[in-house]
Amino acid sequence: MIAVDGVSKSFGSFVAIEDLSFEVAAGEIVGLLGPNGAGKTTMMRILAGVFPPSRGTVHVAGYDVVKDPLRTRAAVGYFPERVSAYLDMTVSSYLRYVAKMKGFSGSAANSQAVSAMGACGIEAVANRIIGSLSKGFRQRVGIAQALTGEPSVLILDEPTSGLDPEQVADMRDLIRGLGEKRTVILSTHILPEVESTCDRVIILHRGRIVAVDTTGNLSRRIQRAGRIFVEIDAPVEDARQHLSQFAGVSSVESKPRSGDSAASFIVMTEQDRDVRAALASSIVQRGWGLVELRSVAFSLEEIFLTLTQDQEGS
Amino acid sequence: MTRIWTICRRELQATFGSVVAYILLAVFMLLSGYFFYSDLVFILLMASFTPVAGLWQWVFLDLRLVTLLIVPLVTMRLFAEEKKLGTIELLWTYPVRDIEIILGKFLAAVAFFLVMLLPNAILCALLFSYHPFDLGPLMSAYLGLILLGVSFIACGLFVSSTTENQVVSAMVTYGILVFFWFLTWNEEAANQAALRILLGLSLFDRFFNFTRGVIDIRDVVFFVLFISFFLFLTWQSLTARKWRGVP
Ligand SMILES: Nc1ncnc2c1ncn2[C@@H]1O[C@H](COP(=O)(O)OP(=O)(O)OP(=O)(O)O)[C@@H](O)[C@H]1O
Ligand SMILES: [Mg+2]
C-alpha cells in the first residue's frame, strides 16, 4: 500500500531525512517513532503530498507521489501535527467543504461529512463554530477531516499530543477502530502509544531508520541479554549466591521485599541463552519454594535508548 | 475546475462572515460617493455647459486612490491567514492544483471588488436618468478602473502568499503599488529613454488614458500582463515549499 524507496529530503543544505526505505502493507497500523527532529513530520508530509522527496521514490496506493500527485492525495487522509481548521466555520460546513475539495459534490459531500462526524463521535457539535471547540474536539474534527472522502490510507502526525489521559485513551480506541479497514501510519514520540496501537514500528533517529519491526519482535531482537524475574522462598543471601553462580547468568539484582518472606531478583543472562528451565529445577532441587519465574521483556523505552546509543556509537 | 469554485465560495463566505468586509465596503462607498458629489459640483461650477464631459476623468482619478487604499486590505488575508492557521498545509494534501487554489482566491477578491464598485455605478445610473449622457467614456473609465483594481488584487495576492502576517501583507502591497505609481514622478531626473520605459511600466499613467475615454489595446495588454505576472509569482511562491518546506 505504501512503498518508500531510498527517500531523502533536504531543506537547503540541511538534510532532514536520508535514504529511508520501508513498506507498509494494506490494513497495517504502523508507528513512526522518534525524538524531536527525527524527521517524522517530514516523511509524513512527503506521503501526504505536501512536498516531493529530494531523492528516491514513494508510492502510495499504487500511485507515484511525484508523477501522480492528485491521485495519490485523493487516496490519503492527513492529520497534521499542527491541528488546523477554519475557525470561523461550523464543523459540518467545514467537513462539507473538505469533501468538496476531495472531489465530492452536493449530497455526496454531505453524506461524507455526516459519516466522518459519526466515525469520530462529533455529531453533537456539528453546528458549533470550530473556534469555540475544546482542544480534544478540534483534534477530532482534524481526524474527521482526514477521514472525509474515505481514503484508504491515513497519515496521522502525533494524533494524541496535547490531550488529557482520558482523551488519549479515546483517541487510541478511535485510531484502532479506523485501522480495522484502512492502512494507518501514525507518528509519536511516546512508546506506550506504539505498543498499544501499532502492529509494526519504524524507529527514526536524525533522519535515518534505526529499526523496522513488529512491536513484539523488536523487543525480542533487542533482548540480546535475557532478563528473568525470579521470586524464591529462601534466605536472601543464599538465594543470591546460588543465582549468581549459576552457569549463564551474568548479573543478579535483588528487588526490595514486598512484606512477605519470599526474595525477588532480576536476573540478567548471557546473550542467547535460555536458562529458565535449568534455573527452575535447580531451585527446586535445593528444596526452596519457587514462587515465580518469568522472563521480562524490555520496554520500547529501553529498546529505543539502546538503539539510538548504538547508532551514535557506530 | 469545480474546486476553484469551492475555494472561491469559502473565501467569499469567510469575507462576508467578518465585519471587516462591511467596514471596507462602507469606507469605499462613503469616499467614492463623496468624490463623486464634490467632482460633480466642481464641474458644474467650472463648466456648466458640458457637465459630464470632464467629469469621469475627475471622478475616476479619485476612485483610483480609494481603490489603492482599500484593495490591499481586501487581499491581505487571502494566503496570510491560511499560513497563520496552518490550513494551507491541508490544502496541499487535497487533490487540488496550486493554480486552482490561486484562481479560487483571486476570483473571490475580484468578486468582492466588483461588489465594492456597485454603489458608485448606481450613482452613475441615477445621474444618467436625470441627465442622459454618452455612455462610451464612462464604460471606458470603468474598464480601466476594473483592470487597475484587478492588477492591485493580483499584486496583493502575491504578497499575501509570502507572509503569515496580515499587516505586513497590506503594508508591502501598498509599498509595491505606490512604487508603480511614483515611477514617473521624477521625470526631470530620468533621461528620455529611461522615462519612456518607466512610463510604460506605470500603472497609473496607463489608467489615465481610460479615464479620457481612450481604450488602447496596448494598455489592456499591459494590465493583463501585469496581472498574469503576479499570478505567476504567486504560483512560484506556493511552489517554493518543495525545497523550502512548510514553515
Ligand atoms: N522547512 C524547513 N526548513 C529547514 N529545516 C526544516 C524544515 N522543516 C523541518 N526541518 C528540520 O528537519 C528536521 C526534521 O523535522 P521534522 O519536523 O520532520 O521532525 P519530527 O520528527 O516531526 O520532530 P517532532 O517530534 O518535533 O515533531 C528537524 O531538524 C527540523 O528542524
Ligand atoms: Mg513532527
Query: Do A179 and A62 meet the contact criterion of CB atoms below 8 Å apart?
Result: no
Residue A20 Cβ < 6 Å to ligand 1: no
More confident residue, B28 or B186: B28
Mean pLDDT over residues A51-69, rounded? 95
In a domain, B74, yes or no: yes
Q: What angle do CA A143, A146, A152 make, to 5 degrees?
A: 120
Q: pLDDT tens, A65-113?
A: 999 999 999 999 999 999 899 999 999 999 999 999 999 998 999 999 9
Within 10 angstroms of residue B34's Cβ, the number of other Cβ atoms is 12
Cα–Cα nearest to A183, from A7, A24, A305, A36: A24
Predicted local distance difference test score (pLDDT) of residue A300:
58
Given a cut of 70, is residue A117 above it in pLDDT? yes
Chain B residues with CB-CB distance to A100 below 8 A: 2-3, 6
Count of domains observed in chain B? 1
CATH class of A224-296: alpha beta
pLDDT above 70 covers a percentage of chain A that reads 90
Q: pLDDT tens, B203-244?
A: 777 888 888 888 889 999 999 999 999 999 999 999 999 989
Given a cut of 70, is residue A308 above it in pLDDT? no
Predicted local distance difference test score (pLDDT) of residue A92:
95
Chain B residues with CB-CB distance to A102 below 8 A: 94-95
Return the ligand number nearest the Cα of A205: 1
Residue ranges of domains in chain A = 2-220, 224-296
Backbone phi, psi, residue A253, to 5°: -130, 125
Of A40-44, A193-197, B144-148, which gets the smallest average pLDDT? A193-197
d(CA B66, CA B72): 11
More confident residue, A154 or B59: A154
Which protein residues have a CB closer than 5 Å to ligand 2 (ion)? A 40-41, 81
Mean pLDDT over residues B168-175, rounded? 96
In a domain, B47, yes or no: yes
Given a cut of 50, is residue B114 above it in pLDDT? yes
In a domain, B21, yes or no: yes
Cα–Cα nearest to A72, from A82, A83, A62: A62
Highest mean pLDDT: which range of A44-48, A163-167, B135-139: A44-48
3-state secondary structure string across chain A: CEEEEEEEEEECCEEEEEEEEEEECCCCEEEEECCCCCCHHHHHHHHHCCCCCCEEEEEECCEECCCCHHHHHHHEEEECCCCCCCCCCEHHHHHHHHHHHCCCCHHHHHHHHHHHHHHHCCHHHCCCEHHHCCHHHHHHHHHHHHHCCCCCEEEEECCCCCCCHHHHHHHHHHHHHHCCCCEEEEEECCHHHHHHHCCEEEEEECCEEEEEEEHHHHHHHHCCEEEEEEEEECCHHHHHHHHHHCCCEEEEEEECCCCCCCEEEEEEEEECCCCHHHHHHHHHHCCCEEEEEEECCCCHHHHHHHHHHHHHHC
Given a cut of 90, is residue B145 above it in pLDDT? yes
The pTM for the full model equals 0.85
Of A108-117, A194-203, B6-15, B129-138, which gets the smallest average pLDDT? B129-138
In a domain, B246, yes or no: no
* Structural domain range at position B141: 2-241
Identify the residue whose C-alpha is closest to ligand 1 atom 6: A11
**Which residue's C-alpha cell is 541479554?**
A225
Q: How confident is the model at residue B5 (pLDDT cuts 50, 70, 90)?
A: very high
CATH class of A2-220: alpha beta
Q: pLDDT averaged over chain B? A: 88
How would you class A5 by CB atoms within 10 Å of its CB: exposed for 0-12, middle for 13-18, buried for 19 or more?
middle
Given a cut of 80, is residue B156 above it in pLDDT? yes
List the 72-111 stretch of B: residues with Cβ below 8 A of A.
Answer: 85-87, 89-97
Q: pLDDT tens, A239-258?
A: 888 888 888 888 888 877 66
Chain A residues with CB-CB distance to B85 below 8 A: 84-87
In a domain, B247, yes or no: no
In a domain, B183, yes or no: yes
Q: pLDDT averaged over chain A? A: 88
pLDDT above 90 covers a percentage of chain A that reads 49
* Ramachandran category for residue A62: left, alpha or beta (phi over 0 → left; psi -120 to 50 → alpha): left
Shortest distance, CA B67 to any CA of chain A (angstroms): 27
Q: How confident is the model at residue B109 (pLDDT cuts 50, 70, 90)?
A: very high
Q: How confident is the model at residue A314 (pLDDT cuts 50, 70, 90)?
A: very low
- E strand residue ranges, B108-214: none
Residue A92 Cβ < 6 Å to ligand 1: no
Residue A34 Cβ < 6 Å to ligand 1: yes
Given a cut of 70, is residue B186 above it in pLDDT? no
Of A116-125, A211-220, B54-63, B226-235, which gets the smallest average pLDDT? A211-220
Kindly state the cell numbers that stand for A236.
536472601
Q: How confident is the model at residue B50 (pLDDT cuts 50, 70, 90)?
A: low
Given a cut of 60, is residue B7 above it in pLDDT? yes
Shortest distance, CA B24 to any CA of chain A (angstroms): 19
CA-nearest residue to B9 within chain A is A97
Q: pLDDT tens, A190-240?
A: 777 887 888 899 988 889 998 888 877 776 666 556 788 888 888 888 888
Closest ligand 1 atom to Cα of A42? 18
Mean pLDDT over residues B75-93, rounded? 95
Q: Which residue among A50, A84, A101 places its CB closest to the CB of B96?
A: A101
CB of B245 within 8 Å of a chain A CB? The answer is yes
Please, which residues have CB within 8 angstroms of residue B73's CB and are 6 or more apart in sequence?
A: B20, B24, B170
A206, β-bridge pairs: none
Predicted local distance difference test score (pLDDT) of residue A164:
84
Kindly state the cell numbers that stand for B165.
502576517
Shortest distance, CA B206 to any CA of chain A (angstroms): 39
d(CA A186, CA A176): 11
Query: Do A137 and B127 meet the contact criterion of CB atoms below 8 Å apart?
Result: no
**Cβ–Cβ pairs < 8 A, chains A and B:** 81
Chain B residues with CB-CB distance to A12 below 8 A: 243-244
Mean pLDDT over residues A289-306, rounded? 75
Query: Do A113 and A107 meet the contact criterion of CB atoms below 8 Å apart?
Result: no
In a domain, B128, yes or no: yes
Given a cut of 70, is residue A127 above it in pLDDT? yes
Given a cut of 90, is residue B153 above it in pLDDT? yes
Residue A259 Cβ < 6 Å to ligand 1: no
